[in-house]
């Protein structure tokens, strides 16, 4: 069946499982590229024409699987039945079937609208969640096709969510945790050497395929889970409603968050964002949303273009719009305040994937002159900033004075 290749036990189980979504959380060198290449060959060998896609964060990361597939097919056929093109993007034709390799970072959005019978995503934990959820999954939905997501873990992000789904949901999603030592060819001496040369946490992620939050992650995954479970609960419907607005710069989004409650315990009622919409139209939509929610006060970032945007928004609104000029210290205070209420479990969040992803990926990176708080390169943090501003716009909690001595004891 595998032309002399013998899968190890973990690979065999993976190859024999036929469900729509397969998730492999692998330690380094487990043999995921080999296993995925054999999965692709099985599909290309089916009698009907098949469209197969390899996706990884960069084109180079697609190549180990693509090259392995070429090697297996050439061994299988002796060469001539395989038509191969390597540039501008790798493509292989095999009978009536086709295999393409694409980078998600450069071409993710151009994949929309295509169909596939099998998609193999390598380093899936490092792709942006919308590429998987909104672009790739729909591509196999109407062909009855399958998607394989293989990766070393990267914290408790969307890849972890799909992995966790596979652990509880039988039938549609299947997942397997694959420590490196399941590959019998891996030398135990090499593994021991790796164990000694890195931290326990790093070894846990890289070789045991454990899902651990990265060291720089500001908002821990369990805080976010708790916040989503808490949702809208326990906030008085008469409590003040405010908004936070982060204006777009260059490639960013303009983001709006609506919060209700007090700074010590609140809920985020809704979040919105706009991309490449003219300032006037953005301002009108924001003003309309503020009116719908009966927002009493809005706080926005007036740094740079924010100043002009605020001037357009102000006359359209019934409530006061206050601007703050952002600097690193200010940002640090707002982010600390948001982290504190999330850690205490006193902020409810809506189950909005865009917001949760920005929070998960938001990181603190040490620099010579302090700590840089932002999204990783290529990511966004507009919704995080709008949420932090909304929280800051809420009134401080009201404390009833308690006198424990004297005549007016309360
Ligand atoms: N069943 C097998 N039989 C023989 N060799 C195998 C088998 N599975 C994997 N290998 C070998 O083990 C090594 C690691 O395999 P592979 O490159 O597929 O692992 P990987 O999990 O993709 O690694 P990485 O973490 O570097 O991406 C390679 O040299 C590969 O040829
Ligand atoms: Mg590999």
pLDDT band at residue 363 under the 50/70/90 scheme:
confident
With 80 as the cut, is the pLDDT of residue 147 above it?
yes
Q: Which residues are bridge partners to 94 per DSSP?
A: 82, 97
What was the pLDDT predicted at 285? 96
Mean pLDDT of the chain: 88
Q: Give the residue, 208 or 249, on which the prediction is more confident.
A: 208
With 60 as the cut, is the pLDDT of residue 407 above it?
no
Q: Whose CA is nearest to atom 10 of ligand 1?
A: 31
Distance CA 408, CA 194 (A): 69
Laid out side by side, the sheet with 347-348 consists of 321-324, 297-301, 241-246, 254-262, 265-274, 347-348
Closest CA to 175 of 186, 190, 159, 191: 159
User: Which tens digits make up the pLDDT trace of 99-143?
Assistant: 999 987 666 666 777 889 999 999 999 888 888 988 899 999 888
For the segment 254-259, the average pLDDT, to the nearest whole number, is 96
Distance CA 350, CA 267 (A): 8
Q: What angle do CA 275, 279, 280 make, to 5 degrees?
A: 125
Furthest-apart CA atoms within the chain: distance in Å = 100
CA of 105 to the centre of ligand 2 (A): 18
Ligand 1 pocket check for 8: Cβ under 6 Å:
yes
Ligand 1 pocket check for 37: Cβ under 6 Å:
no
Report which bound ligand comes closest to the CA of 24. Answer: 1
CA of 258 to the centre of ligand 2 (A): 43
Ligand 1 pocket check for 7: Cβ under 6 Å:
yes
User: Which tens digits make up the pLDDT trace of 280-319?
Assistant: 999 999 999 999 999 999 999 988 778 889 999 999 999 9
CA of 47 to the centre of ligand 1 (A): 28
For the segment 72-92, the average pLDDT, to the nearest whole number, is 82
Ligand 1 pocket check for 38: Cβ under 6 Å:
no
With 60 as the cut, is the pLDDT of residue 389 above it?
yes
Domains of the chain, CATH where assigned: 9-206 (3.40.50.300), 221-393 (3.30.420.240)
What was the pLDDT predicted at 410? 44
Q: Give the residue, 157 or 368, on which the prediction is more confident.
A: 157
Q: Which of 185, 194, 203, 208 to mutate to test the pocket of ligand 1 (most atoms within 8 A of CB)?
A: 185
What was the pLDDT predicted at 49? 95
CA of 122 to the centre of ligand 1 (A): 13
* Most confidently modeled range among 33-47, 228-242, 351-365: 33-47
């Amino acid at each position: 069946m595998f032309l002399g290749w013998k899968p190890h036990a973990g690979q065999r189980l993976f190859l024999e499982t036929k469900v729509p979504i397969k998730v492999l959380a692998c330690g380094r060198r487990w043999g995921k590229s080999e296993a995925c290449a054999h999965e692709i060959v099985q599909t290309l060998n089916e009698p009907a024409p098949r469209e197969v896609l390899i996706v990884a964060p960069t084109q180079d990361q697609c190549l180990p699987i693509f090259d392995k597939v070429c090697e297996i097919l050439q061994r299988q056929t002796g060469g001539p039945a395989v038509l191969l093109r390597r540039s501008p993007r790798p493509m292989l034709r095999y009978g009536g079937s086709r295999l393409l390799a694409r980078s998600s970072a450069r071409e993710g959005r151009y994949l929309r609208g295509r169909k596939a019978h099998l998609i193999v995503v390598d380093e899936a934990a490092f792709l942006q969640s919308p590429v998987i959820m909104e672009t790739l999954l729909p591509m196999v939905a109407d062909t009855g096709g399958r998607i394989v997501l293989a990766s070393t873990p990267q914290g408790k992000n969307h890849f972890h969510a799909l992995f966790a789904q596979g652990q509880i949901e039988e039938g549609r999603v299947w997942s397997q945790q694959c420590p490196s030592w399941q590959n019998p060819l891996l030398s135990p001496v090499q593994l021991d050497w790796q164990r000694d040369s890195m931290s326990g946490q790093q070894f846990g992620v890289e070789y045991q395929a454990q899902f651990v939050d990265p060291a720089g992650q500001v908002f821990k995954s369990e805080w976010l889970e708790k916040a989503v479970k808490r949702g809208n609960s326990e906030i008085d419907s008469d409590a003040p409603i405010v908004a936070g607005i982060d204006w777009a710069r260059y490639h960013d989004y303009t983001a709006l968050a609506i919060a209700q409650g007090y700074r010590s315990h609140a809920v985020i009622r809704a979040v919105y964002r706009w991309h490449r919409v003219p300032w006037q139209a953005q301002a009108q939509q924001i003003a309309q949303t503020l009116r719908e929610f009966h927002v009493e006060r809005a706080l926005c970032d007036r740094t740079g273009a924010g100043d002009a945007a605020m001037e357009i928004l102000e006359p359209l609104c019934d409530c006061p719009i206050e601007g703050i000029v952002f600097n690193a210290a200010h940002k640090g205070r707002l982010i600390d305040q948001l982290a504190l209420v999330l850690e205490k479990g006193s902020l409810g969040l809506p189950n909005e994937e865009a917001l949760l992803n920005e929070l998960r990926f938001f990181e603190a990176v040490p620099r010579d002159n302090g700590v840089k708080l932002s999204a990783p390169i290529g990511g966004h943090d507009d919704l995080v900033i709008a949420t932090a501003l909304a929280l800051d716009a809420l009134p401080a909690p009201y404390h009833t004075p308690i006198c424990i001595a004297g005549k007016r004891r309360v």
